[in-house]
Chain A
Amino acid sequence: QVQLVQSGAEVKKPGASVKVSCTASGYIFTSNAIHWVRQAPGQRLEWMGWIYGGNGNTKYSQKFQGRVSITRDTSASTAHMELSRLRSEDTAVYFCARGDGYLQHWGQGTLVTVSS
């Protein structure tokens, strides 16, 4: 079955960067996009961007443009999301998800805490 397994929780200081990983199994990694979605405490889901597993094309939400970078390693069936210049408002659970048009499979989420 399809599984997306994310890296563990992170604690970062303001101004630093964080890189979260998402390893996929159970399907052909290059046939779908991997998305990143975040959810601040008590807040709504927020789409950040996606990367197509096949050709590596990316698209980012305007809100995060210039601060987020999504990459992939096809040999490891893994996608990475790096968010830079962190601030306290970036404290959230970050999810990866697989899909095109809709997100059918989700990772377990990674808590990123930004605190001085």
Chain B
Amino acid sequence: SYELTQPPSVSVSPGQTASINCSGDKLGDKSACWYQQKPGQSPVLVIYQDNKRPSGIPERFSGSNSGNTATLAISGTQAIDEADYYCQAWDSSTAYVFGTGTKVTVL
């Protein structure tokens, strides 16, 4: 079965850029998206179709996807960005797959 791997944790200082990688075989050939999830809450879509932001998501969230890696970047990270982040990919053969998840800590 298809797998997406993320680092378990990423630490970042306020105002700096946090980068989260998501690795999967030929991930760049699929459509990738990212969700933010805070404790006790439902996930929130922050990036879709590799690099698009839904309405209401701050510009500091950006995404890219190429080769075997998709990346979520949070520039000018704020305390409110502290959360778990999950990548997700889709195509007709793999259906929907979520990554292992990354806890972002703002120190």
Contact = CB atoms under 8 A, between A and B. Distances in A.
Nearest to A44: B101
Nearest to A48: B96
Interface residues of B, number: 22
Interface in B6-38: 31, 33, 35, 37
Interface string A36-74: 010000001111001000000001011000000000000
A106 interface: yes
A114 to B, nearest CB: 20
Interface stretch (A9-17, A76-84, A97-105): A97-105
B98 A102 contact: no
Interface string B92-103: 000111111100
The majority secondary structure among interface residues of chain A is strand
A105 to B, nearest CB: 8
Contacts, number: 54
A102 B49 contact: yes
Contacts of A46: 98
Given A44-B98, A47-B97, A102-B88, A107 B48 contact: no
B45 interface: yes
Contact of A104 (B31, B37, B48, B98): B48
A68 to B, nearest CB: 13
Give the residue among A97, A101, A102 with the most B Cβ atoms within 10 A.
Answer: A102
A44 B99 contact: yes
Contacts of B101: 44-45
A63 to B, nearest CB: 8
Interface string B64-106: 0000000000000000000000101010000111111100000
